[in-house]
Amino acid sequence: MNEKPILGITMGDPSGIGPEISVKALSLEKIYELCRPVIIGDAGVMEKTIREVIKRDDISVRPVSSVKECLFKRGTIDVYDLRNVELEKLKIGKVDAMSGEAAFTSVKKAIELALAGDIDATVTNPLNKEALNLAGHHYAGHTEIYADLTGAKDYSMMLAEENLRVVHVSTHVSLRTACDRVKKDRVLKVIELAHNTCESLGIREPRVAVAGLNPHAGENGLFGSEEIDEIMPAIEAAREKGIKAEGPVPPDTVFAKAQGGLYDIVVAMYHDQGHIPLKVLGFQYDKSSGKWTAVKGVNITLGLPIIRSSVDHGTAFDNAWKGAANELSLISAIEYGVMLAKHKRK
């Protein structure tokens, strides 16, 4: 019980920034103070990253074929070697089927190891959805892969940055479809997931804000009836279960209130409603350099039988293999993975 949790960190799409930020994060002493990390992917890619991108001679790669072989020692990155990349065919910064396949098989192996109990939590680096589909895996993203391979039925995406946490009723669907998915049962399930996750993070009696779908939360039916017909009944049902749910709160003010400490988590009705405020908070773009100076935030999939936290950014092909990628989001994802793993052990 006192041992640090084992975290399986997927390499991500090897054509992107996943390998680089993995090396940068695992070069830090504090990561090994928190957990026992192992990269799941291709050892050759990780070695090439250290040699050509990071350019450090104090870090090495140790390929392993089982978690039991890992040393978990700073300076030696354990890589569960899937040998899933042909280095001479690797296309840097481009959408490629081989890289999409490598990203998928890394995720699949991480899920298998977690389900078998060989690792305590999974942390995912970014994959490219187009490359994933080119490889023949027709998923909208990580969330859907995890749900399918674990058999999860009721799941949702949570984003977190600082003290702002947002969980979504729907994610990777069209806006028209997202509106159709705002139904009482689904909203209630997401409220419950939000409540339970806050408790797993050590928040007692969490305050759950439920955003409206329409402007001004519908203005009593003037701008739409979803708040009256679907969202409010879900909130009332949640309250009957002892959950401190409030709303529907107008979506143009709910995130500012949560950031100010009024709520512990916000239930957003669709993808961009929740993503935009989180990325305004965590992402910083510098016009003069044309680069992101900070890319922070964590993506967590709720409702799974295993733990999955992730970076909240993409593969950044335009910045891949240049040595300038930012590892802050991955560090935060590792920290969240550790918190959730420790709570699950209790």
Amino acid 254 reads V
Q: Which CATH number fits domain 6-152+304-345: 3.30.465.10, 3.40.50.2300, 3.40.718.10, 3.30.230.30?
A: 3.40.718.10
pLDDT digits (tens, 9 = 90+) for 267-282: 999 999 999 999 898 8
pLDDT at 162: 81
Tally of helices (H runs) and strands (E runs) in the chain: 13, 14
pLDDT at 2: 58
Supply the CATH classification number for the domain 156-278. Answer: 3.40.718.10
- Decide if 6-152+304-345 and 156-278 have a common fold: yes
pLDDT at 1: 43
Q: Concatenated DSSP letters for 273-287?
A: HHHHHHHHHHEEEET
For the chain, domain boundaries: 6-152+304-345, 156-278
Q: What share of the chain is helix, strand, coil (3-state, %, to 5)?
A: 45, 20, 35
What are the residue ranges in the chain where pLDDT is below 70?
1-2, 293-294, 346
Which burial class, exposed, middle or buried, applies to 268 when counting CB atoms under 10 A from its CB (0-12, 13-18, 19+)? buried
Structure pTM? 0.88
pLDDT at 181: 96
pLDDT digits (tens, 9 = 90+) for 300-331: 999 999 999 999 899 999 999 999 999 999 99
